[in-house]
Chain A
Amino acid sequence: MIEIKNIYKSFDQKEVLRNISKVFNKGETNLIIGRSGSGKTVLLKSIVGLHEIDSGQILYDDRDFTTMSPKFRKKLREEMGMVFQGGALFDSLTVEENVRFPLDMFSLLSSAQKQKQVDFCLERVNITNANKLSPSEISGGMKKRVAIARAIVMNPKYLFCDEPNSGLDPETSLVIDELIHSITVDLQITTIINTHDMNSVMEIGDNILFISGGEMCWEGNRKEILYAENHKLQEFVFANKQYQKIRDDKINQ
């Protein structure tokens, strides 16, 4: 479980996040949603420590990340996995070497055991016959899946995904969503996903935080989101007329 309390963050005196508090549960896909520029990525990067917050608290299973020494932060980071917007695979390494990299860096497993773990993770994300290819030789969807495999290879307790569906077609997006959701449930990890994709919200949104203009505006789950009375949330959700129709049809029924 990850808990954030009263997070404030600014860049050059421009306030980007204001007073955000939320509990992200274990075994659930927790979503941070909002328009582009609303502060989602800054919040996610603040939670993982890539940005230092101005004030507030970030607790990883009651361990205070904000006051932790760099040494302990580094140790805690070995329990994290992150999927970046563009995949962020290392260009100079093959698919297999990318997934193996965290094991080579931190694990004391034998070479054969590492290979077994790499094969297991690649199989888990349905990547076959691509082990020796370089990231430039695979598609965008495959890159995201390899990035997920790399993120879970160390059996993390916390998984972070920044816009995992950006630039992907709807079908591949669905595959990625289902993959992240099943990994979260099967491995019982705490997953936080940044997205503005309403299809993802409706598919896997167990626990949703909606932020607008750097402020927390609404929280709930995918069943509640269509009927929420929040004006800013409605503008965001019903920008897609299809969801307006779904809600109207259900209300009529």
Chain B
Amino acid sequence: MNVFYQTGRYFSLMLKVFSKPERHSLYVRQTFNEIENLGVNSVGIVAVISIFMGGIMTLQVAYNMTNPLLPRTIIGLGNRDTLILEFSSTIMALIMAGKIGSNITSEIGSMKVTEQIDSLEIMGVNSAGYLILPKIIAVVLMFPLLYILSVFFGIIGGMIVGPAVGAVTLADYLNGVQNQFIPYYVIFSLIKCLVFGFLIASISAFFGYTVEGGAFDVGSASTRAVVNTNIMILVWDLILTQLLL
């Protein structure tokens, strides 16, 4: 029953979030702040993780390719398709749920327990709209860009590590990366990114906005937000893969 109750509260909050803003200019300013805070500030971690994972995946494919009849170009191709189809969208979304999601929950949760949200309500501001809508827009806009960067850095990672340890030549790797490219895979993953971005921002905001108590409860809410977001990302990954591929 609790699942239905919480789901109802989530949709009720979303209705409040998507109601008409009081002052558009303030919402736009807030959205740009969130784009910087949640999106631009995540570029570093996305780049580092993607370079390492791209390199590791290249090595894994190379070391498991024991059949001498298979062309070495498969290493680059395998790395590219793994990055495009799953790693840079789904796995990166799971990582971002931890980074961005916990940030959103703890920020909104802290505002709740220190009565800053009550303060907004007393002024006549739709606190849910003002605090959550810019975050949702920022994450939904930025996540596809982070995805593209992740794919780029992942391929670079493989290009550095593969030839450096002698697992594949640079020419074979680059040949594989450019071989049998299917553009629809990118479109499919960009659609997933839009959905995942919405899930990360809205679920995390919901857990922050509905927190009751003090600092301990904000911490618990952050954990629950990350766990629930991760589960929903995997469920929607399954649904979208079945529907779109």
Contact = CB atoms under 8 A, between A and B. Distances in A.
A104 B23 contact: yes
A89 to B, nearest CB: 8
Contacts of B116: 88-91
B125 A50 contact: no
Interface stretch (A76-84, A124-132, A211-219): A76-84
B123 A78 contact: yes
B23 A84 contact: no
A84 B111 CA distance: 13
Contacts of B23: 104-106
A105 B118 contact: no
B122 A106 contact: no
B121 A50 contact: yes
A90 B125 CA distance: 14
Q: Which one of B114, B115, B122 has the highest number of Cβ atoms from chain A below 10 Å of its Cβ?
A: B122
Interface string A58-95: 00000000000000001101101110111011110000
Contacts of A91: 110-111, 116
Contacts of A89: 116
Interface in B28-52: none
Q: How many A residues are at the interface, by size bracket?
A: 20 to 34
Contact of B26 (A77, A90, A104): A104
A9 to B, nearest CB: 16
Contacts of B114: 86, 88
Interface string B91-125: 00000000000000000001100111011011111
A102 interface: yes
A91 B125 CA distance: 17
22 contacts: A45-B118, A50-B118, A50-B122, A77-B122, A77-B123, A78-B123, A80-B123, A82-B118, A82-B119, A82-B122, A84-B118, A88-B115, A88-B116, A88-B119, A90-B111, A90-B116, A104-B23, A105-B23, A105-B123, A106-B123, A106-B124, A160-B122
Given A84-B115, A90-B119, 19 more contacts: A50-B118, A50-B121, A74-B124, A80-B122, A80-B123, A82-B118, A84-B118, A86-B115, A88-B114, A88-B115, A88-B118, A90-B111, A90-B116, A91-B110, A91-B111, A104-B23, A105-B124, A106-B23, A106-B123
Interface of A: 45, 48, 50, 74-75, 77-78, 80-82, 84-86, 88-91, 101-102, 104-106, 154, 160
